Every structure is written in C-alpha cells, then in structure tokens.
Structure 1
Amino acid sequence: MSVLSIEAVSRTDHLNDPDAPQATSIRVAVSAVVRDQAGCVLLIRRTDNDKYAIPGGGQEPGETLTEAAVREVFEETGVHVEVTTLVGLYSNPAHVIAYDDGEVRQEFSICFRARPLGGEPRTSDESKEVLWVKPTDLDDLDIHPSIRLRIAHGLTDDRDPYFT
C-alpha cells in the first residue's frame, strides 16, 4: 500500500514591490471568470494564501488551454464549465509569486470567461470555500489586485481581450 502525502504550500504575491524576490520561473496558468444565470461570479477562498480568487491553475502536458481551464475549475470547485471567450493574457513582470519551497514565479496567466454546465460546489485541497458572489459584493472580499483586474475585465463582455 502506498500513501500519498500532500503538504500545504503557501505563497506570497508581490505586486509592484521593490523588495520582492527576483522571479526564477514562468509557468503557463489558466483561470476562468465563471458567471451563473443570475450574473454571480464563482470564487474560491484559496488554501495557500487565504484570499478569494477565480478558480485556476497550471496547464498540464497534453492539455489545451481551455481543457486546463475546465479541469482546474472542476478540481477546485466541483462545477463543470464550458469556456466561452477569452478575457485576456496577464504577464506582468512586476507581479511575482514566492512559494515557501523557494520558487519565485512571474505571473503568466490566460484568463477565460466560462459558463456553468452543472455539478455541485464543493471545496478541495486548493479551496477552503466555494461561493457565488454578486458583482456588487466583490469589494467586501480580500481579493488580490491582479485577480480583481481579471474579474473586472471578465465582467465586461463587449471588450477586446486584455494583454500585457
């Protein structure tokens, strides 16, 4: 019998911080602004930094970007989604993420809009809370500025994709 041990990894996001550590890696990440029929946004409360965020994570070998987004949303929330459009490409070198294992990653994320198809919201190893939030209530939550930017862009349906 084999036992899989999962250690919690914590992260610290640095944005426009002159004392931030230098990035040592870049990894393709995806995220999704998922809205239900009432216009609420699907959010998670992350286990690694305790902030609210849209679901997302790293692309795996053999996946398309949209397949990665669908998988990550389901893994973190229990909600099945369909990707509908591109929100934007986020690669701000002034946003680095320092992990407690020593990795320091430059932000590089492709964000999509998606609509829910089914499933039941549930937490995971990466999410300690899953909730649908009215856009008017987003200001009440602790959300990193880089995620707030993606949400704002995702809520504006008639704009061209954002890129940096």
Structure 2
Amino acid sequence: MRRHDYEGDPNAPTPNSLVPAASVVVVNDRGQVLLQRRVDNGMWALPGGRMELGESLAGCGIRETKEETGVDIVITGIVGTYTNPGHVFAYDDGEVRQEFSICLLGRPTGGELAVSDESHEVAWFDPREVDSLPMVEGIRRRVNDWRSGQYPVVR
C-alpha cells in the first residue's frame, strides 16, 4: 500500500485515524544507525510501525525492528514523542492518519540484516551519511534529535 506524508501542508487531507506507533533509532557499537528503505514511499526511514493490541510500546519497537530489518534489539531509552496534528499520512485505502509516534533508542543484540515486504534495502549508516539520504522530514527530525544528544524531545 502506498503512503504519502503531509507536514504543514494546508492542502493535506483531513485525518480520520489516530494510531499509536513506535519508531526506533538503533545504534550499533560503531555508532552507526540502522535504516530501511521503505517500499511504500521509497524513502529511508527508521524501523517502526503501529502498536498492536496487547503489546507494550517497547515490544512494538522490538517487533517492528525485527520484522522490517532482521535485527534483534533491546530498548535502551526514548528519543522523543512526535504528535504533530499537522503531520498526516495518507494511505491508498483512504486512511489518513495523524502522527502519534514515540521514538525509542535501541541497541542490536543479534539477527542479520534482511529486507521484508515493507523494506527493499536495509543498512547501517554513519550519522553523517544520513544527511544525503532521501528521507521524509519527520524521520530526519527524529534522527537529528538523536544526534543532538538532547533527549527526550517532546514535539
């Protein structure tokens, strides 16, 4: 399913959904960050997705990271909360979701890089390399917030 991100766009569609979600800045012992290239918009992103019933926020981040990248992680902190009502995601099926995401910090514990039906590339990047990657602004903001070292951030 395709997705289009709107942030601060007066022509954005009206949201009809609010879904808790987690994303994770996973950092390895070399200081590299784990990113996936999403199938739905072709952009590089942090692993993450919607929380399921009966699941904790940390459990959501761990599950989504494993599903989308093949990497096992532990959660070590929180980068920030992202709840901008002016940031919406429009999906092909008519859902228009208002942003509600908690960005966690994680460390890899095992697994191997692997693509999924949601990602067609997965890689570790030096933080300086991230600036040149195609990425939606909301994800870039999370990465920059992590790089600032001044978290947790509330947005």
Q: Give the TM-score band, short-chain normalised.
A: over 0.9
1:22 pairs with 9, 14, 21, which one? 14
Mapped to 2, the partners of 1:71 and 1:160 lie a distance apart of 23
Q: What displacement does 1:153 show?
A: 1.3
Offset of residue 139 of structure 1:
1.4
CA distance in 1, matches of 2:147, 2:118: 24
Mapping 1:6-155, distance limit 5 Å: 9-155=1-147
In structure 2, give the amino acid aligned to 1:115.
Answer: R
SS in 1 for 2:108: strand
- State the distance in 1 between where 2:91 and 2:127 align: 30
Distance of 1:152 and 1:115 partners within structure 2: 18
Q: Contact 2:145–2:151 (CA<8 Å) still a contact in 1?
A: no
4+ aligned runs moved over 2 Å, structure 1: none
Specify the alignment match of 1:161 in structure 2. 152
Aligned residue type for 1:46: R
Give the length in aligned residue pairs. 155
Structure 1 gap ranges (5+): 1-8
1:62 maps to a residue whose letter is G
Cα deviation, 1:96-141, whole Å, max 9, x if unaligned, reads 1000100100010010010000110000010100000111111111
Structure 2 gaps of 5+ residues are none
| Amino-acid identity (%) | 48
**Displacement, 1:160?**
3.5
String of CA shifts for 1:35-69, please: whole Å, max 9, x gaps: 11111110000000000000000111111100110
Deviation per CA, 1:46-97: give whole Å up to 9, x if none.
0000000000001111111001100000000000000000111100111110
SS at match of 1:123: coil
Structure having the higher Rg: 1
